[in-house]
Amino acid sequence: MTEKIPLYVIGLSKDEPATEVLYSKFGAALEKVQPVLPDIIEAKIDVKSQNPEGSRTHYDVTATIKTSKNQLIYTESDWDILKICDLLIKKLEREMPKHDDKRQRDSIRKREP
């Protein structure tokens, strides 16, 4: 019943293999947090690469998740885009305990005997 959250990857070409990995991994993480954050409107991953002509490319990645109430922004930079993706997913999943209201337990003292 939950609808798919629109995910946009900006800064990487469509034929680059890392683009497909970002879509699949980050999309799965968004589906995982959707029960806790049901008001997500869209997610955007902005990739800025430095020194793309050289043997190594340095990436600065910003993930922005728009909800109906606010924006969640996560940034990471590294040489490996897949490592950055995993770090951003960990940061997103850390939001789950902050917003999960279902985890509240009833007080033992307030129960009827």
Q: So where are the chain's domains?
A: 7-103
Average pLDDT, the chain: 82
CATH superfamily membership of 7-103: Ribosome hibernation promotion factor-like (3.30.160.100)
DSSP codes of every residue in 54-103: SSS-EEEEEEEEEESS-EEEEEEEES-HHHHHHHHHHHHHTHHHHH-GGG
Summarised one tens digit per residue, pLDDT across range 63-102 is 999 988 888 899 999 998 889 989 998 998 887 766 655 5
Q: Is the CB of residue 61 less than 8 Å from the CB of residue 45?
A: yes
Q: Residues, the chain, total?
A: 113
Q: Which secondary structure element, helix H or strand E, spans residue 97, and what is its range?
A: helix 95-99
pLDDT beyond 50 at 38: yes
Q: What is the pTM of this model?
A: 0.74
CA–CA separation, 103 vs 41, rounded Å? 24
